[in-house]
């Protein structure tokens, strides 16, 4: 390895490290623009950090018509410090929005479950807005297998 390529490698690593620490709902693979736009509309240009949010979803989905997901956000849920909003986005459905949940300190715990539709294998993203105005996120990759004998 030449000196210059080693430097380039180091720079790339530094850039990667930087990207990961701030990141960010911009995964390495191409994120469809509509999801990025929907996320921008939700966060209004504020930086989204990875962490505090746990998005639970089955890695292998039997039927995309009903996919259980659960979002948990680390928060004391007091009137001074609570989760205001949790929004779910997807990459490949016709629309990027899935659901937006509005929580309050009265919830006691920031945990929400629902069942969603997925038209294809894809990433889904959960973003939480805390009462201090910060945004946190988690991403889950789901593989959807469809039943073999389609109904006509």
Partner 1 sequence: MIRLPPRTRWGAAAGLMVLGLSPAFAAEIPLAERRSGFDFMSRDSQALQHDDTANPGMLLVLDGEMLWNSMAGAAGRSCADCHGAALVSMKGVAARYPAYNAEHRRPIDLQGRINLCREVKQNATPFAWESPELLALAAYVAHQSRGMPITAGEDPRLQPFIERGRALYEQRQGQLNFSCANCHDDNWGQKLGGSVIPQAHPTGYPLYRLEWQAVGSLQRRLRNCMTGVRAEPYPLGSPEFVDLELFLMFRAWGMPIETPAVRP
Partner 2 sequence: MARVLINVPPTAKRGQIIEIKALISHPMETGFRTGPDGNLVPRNIIKRFTCNYNGEEIFSADLFPAIAANPFLSFMVAATETGLIAFQWIDDQDQVQLETAKITVE
Interface contacts to partner 1, rule CB under 8 A: 58, 60, 62-63, 65-66, 68, 145-152
* 106, 133, 148, 152: residue in contact with partner 2 (rule CB under 8 A): 106
**Cα–Cα–Cα angle for 30, 21, 41, nearest 5°?**
55
Q: Taking CB within 5 to 8 Å according to partner kind, which of partner 1, partner 2, none is near residue 111?
A: partner 2
Q: Closer to partner 1 at the Cβ: 61 or 125?
A: 61
13 binds, among partner 2, partner 1, none (CB under 5 to 8 A by kind): none
The site partner of 110 among partner 2, partner 1, none (C-beta below 5 to 8 Å per kind) is: partner 2
Q: Which two tokens stand for residue 55?
A: 């998005």
> Within 13 A of 92's CA, how many CA atoms are on the CB side?
13
CB of 143 to partner 1, least distance (A): 9
Q: Establish whether the linkage from the previous residue to 24 is cis, with ω within 30° of 0.
A: yes
């Amino acid at each position: 390895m030449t000196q210059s390529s080693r430097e380039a490698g180091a720079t790339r690593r530094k850039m990667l490290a930087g990207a990961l620490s701030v990141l960010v709902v911009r995964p390495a693979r191409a994120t469809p623009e509509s999801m990025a736009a929907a996320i921008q509309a939700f966060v209004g240009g504020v930086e989204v950090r990875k962490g505090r949010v746990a998005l639970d979803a089955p890695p292998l989905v039997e039927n995309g018509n009903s996919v259980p997901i659960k979002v948990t956000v680390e928060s004391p849920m007091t009137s001074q410090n609570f989760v205001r909003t949790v929004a779910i986005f997807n990459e490949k459905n016709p629309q990027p929005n899935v659901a937006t949940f509005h929580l309050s300190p009265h919830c006691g715990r920031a945990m929400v479950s629902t069942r969603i539709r997925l038209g294809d294998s894809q990433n889904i993203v959960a973003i939480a807005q805390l009462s201090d105005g910060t945004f946190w996120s988690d991403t889950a990759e789901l593989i959807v297998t469809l039943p073999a004998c389609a109904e006509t």
